[in-house]
């Protein structure tokens, strides 16, 4: 028979040993149950949840790698900078004199970024003294400047002689190349007496179908410097084109008549010839603007009708402006020929201006009009580039002259 005290003691021990067992089972099963319940609440398949968790972990790892790489690169950069500073410090004291310390070598001076090269042109020259014939060969070009968005150009060469410029030749157009091979020859009749006064101009252009052709570069060769005892064949670098290129833009004929008593200036646009080809079909759609400039400001203007598809339009249209005798001494008359385009902006073929500030034939024509009142004076004029005329006039577009009678 077991004593009561011992039994009670055993019961107590049994109670103490069971209690930890129950507490231990409760703690091990509670966490999985909570995670399972939380996962069951998410309206996604179990595999999708695992995939999202794996993706988050991958992004976290990549971020850590990026941070580590950035720190390493920063350390290398600091090290290189430190080495560079040390090299500069050593170089600064390498001179033996004070001048060597403060004055850089000529080769080390930076004169600014050099202009981008235009390319090179291979040409040949030969002059026949018996036939007085100059033969110019356009062989090829190399390393031309890219003018198109695709990194290429559509080059061709235009060549002529100055100052006469009686003939203007052009090579074939080569598509999408910076190294065209032309192999074309052109002949000019040049008397021996004019040879030393002539300048050969060879210009390389980039062809554009729907806009003005862009000039890449040019060569200007004084023929007086050429040794004609043998055939010349050489490469030369292209130069920047002249600011105001004297290309053949065409000629225009018009008459002027001024009546001082009535203050009437009459301009009759008669015709034009040999206009520059502006359209892809080799023609133009020309019309003429007649404009008066007073005190470098646009004053009055009128224009002719449009003549389609012609380089030799005939107008015979008259325009009358009211200009006082005091104003006629200061006014400038601008005659400009334009090419009409339905799809794009109209382009100026060429311009010319007359007045007391003009020069050459333009001034002579204006003076003849003033010295012969009431009598029409007609004359042909060669068109100049619009840029050249506008630059000479230096127009101001903002203000208008307050005249009582405005015939715009």
pLDDT at 42 > cutoff 90: no
Contact 159, 201 (CB under 8 A): yes
What's the whole-number mean pLDDT along residues 293-307?
A: 90
Contact 187, 133 (CB under 8 A): yes
The pLDDT assigned to 95 comes to 41
pLDDT at 40 > cutoff 90: no
pLDDT tier at 232, thresholds 50, 70, 90: very high
- Please give the C-alpha separations between residue 403 and each of 227, 230, 304, 320, in angstroms, as whole numbers: 63, 67, 24, 16
Q: Note the maximum CA span of the chain.
A: 163
pLDDT at 363 > cutoff 80: yes
The pLDDT assigned to 335 comes to 96
Q: Across all residues in the chain, what is the average pLDDT?
A: 78
Contact 265, 321 (CB under 8 A): yes
pLDDT at 404 > cutoff 90: no
Contact 258, 328 (CB under 8 A): yes
Per residue in 139-182, pLDDT (tens digit) is 999 999 998 888 899 999 999 898 877 677 889 989 999 999 99
Per residue in 76-101, pLDDT (tens digit) is 565 555 544 444 343 443 343 333 33
Structure tokens at 312: 């030799």
Nearest to 269 by CA among 282, 254, 284: 254
Structure tokens at 362: 């333009």
What's the whole-number mean pLDDT along residues 306-315?
A: 94
Which has more confidence, 349 or 399?
Answer: 349
Structure tokens at 13: 């021990």
Contact 144, 118 (CB under 8 A): yes
What's the whole-number mean pLDDT along residues 300-307?
A: 94
Strand-pairing partners, residue 242, are: none
Query: Which of 78-87, 128-137, 291-300 is modeled with the greatest confidence?
Result: 128-137
Beta-carbon contacts of residue 248 (< 8 Å; ≥ 6 apart): 160, 165, 168, 274, 276
* Paired sense of beta strands 120-128 and 232-237, if any: antiparallel
Structure tokens at 139: 């062989």
Going along the chain from its start, the domains and CATH numbers come out as 119-238 (2.60.40.150), 250-398 (2.60.40.150)
The pLDDT assigned to 15 comes to 46
Nearest to 206 by CA among 239, 237, 177: 177
Nearest to 168 by CA among 280, 278, 283, 276: 276
Contact 249, 385 (CB under 8 A): yes
pLDDT at 200 > cutoff 90: yes
pTM for the predicted model, two decimal places: 0.43
pLDDT at 114 > cutoff 60: no
The pLDDT assigned to 304 comes to 96
pLDDT tier at 6, thresholds 50, 70, 90: very low
Least-confidence region, from 111-125, 131-145, 359-373: 111-125
């Amino acid at each position: 028979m077991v004593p009561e005290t011992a039994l009670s003691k055993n019961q107590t021990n049994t109670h103490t040993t069971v209690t930890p067992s129950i507490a231990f089972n409760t703690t091990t099963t509670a966490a999985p149950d909570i995670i399972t319940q939380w996962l069951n609440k998410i309206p996604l398949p179990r595999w999708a949840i695992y995939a999202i968790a794996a993706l988050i972990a991958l992004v976290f790892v990549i971020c850590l790698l990026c941070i580590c790489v950035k720190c390493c690169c920063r350390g290398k950069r600091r090290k290189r900078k430190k080495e560079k500073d040390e090299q500069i410090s050593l170089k600064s004291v390498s001179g033996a004199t004070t001048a060597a310390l403060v004055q850089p070598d000529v080769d080390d001076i930076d004169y600014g970024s050099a202009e981008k090269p235009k390319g090179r042109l291979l040409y040949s020259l030969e002059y026949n003294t018996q036939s007085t014939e100059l033969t110019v060969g356009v062989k090829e070009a190399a390393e031309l400047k890219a003018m198109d968005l695709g990194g290429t150009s559509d080059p061709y060469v235009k060549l002529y002689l100055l100052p006469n410029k009686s003939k203007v030749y052009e090579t074939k157009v080569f598509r999408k190349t910076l190294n065209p091979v032309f192999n074309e020859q052109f002949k000019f009749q040049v008397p021996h007496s004019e040879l030393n006064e002539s300048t050969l101009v060879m210009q390389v252009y980039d062809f554009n179908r729907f806009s003005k052709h862009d000039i890449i570069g040019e060569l200007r060769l004084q023929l007086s410097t050429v040794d004609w005892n043998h055939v010349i064949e050489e490469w030369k670098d292209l130069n920047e084109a002249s600011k105001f290129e004297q290309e053949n833009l065409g000629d225009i004929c018009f008459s002027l008549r001024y009546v001082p008593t009535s203050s009437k200036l009459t301009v009759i646009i008669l015709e034009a010839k040999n206009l520059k080809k502006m359209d892809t079909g080799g023609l133009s759609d020309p019309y003429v603007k007649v404009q008066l400039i007073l005190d470098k400001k646009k004053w009055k203007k009128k224009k002719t009708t449009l003549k389609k598809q012609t380089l030799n339009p005939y107008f015979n249209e008259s325009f009358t402006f009211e200009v006082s005798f005091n104003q006629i001494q200061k006014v400038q008359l601008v005659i400009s020929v334009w090419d009409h385009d339905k799809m794009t902006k109209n382009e100026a073929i060429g311009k010319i201006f007359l007045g007391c500030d003009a020069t050459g034939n333009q001034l002579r024509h204006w003076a003849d009009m003033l010295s012969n009142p009431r009598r029409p004076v007609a004359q042909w004029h060669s068109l100049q580039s619009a840029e050249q005329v506008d630059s000479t006039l230096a127009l101001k577009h903002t203000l208008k002259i307050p005249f009582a009678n405005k015939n715009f």
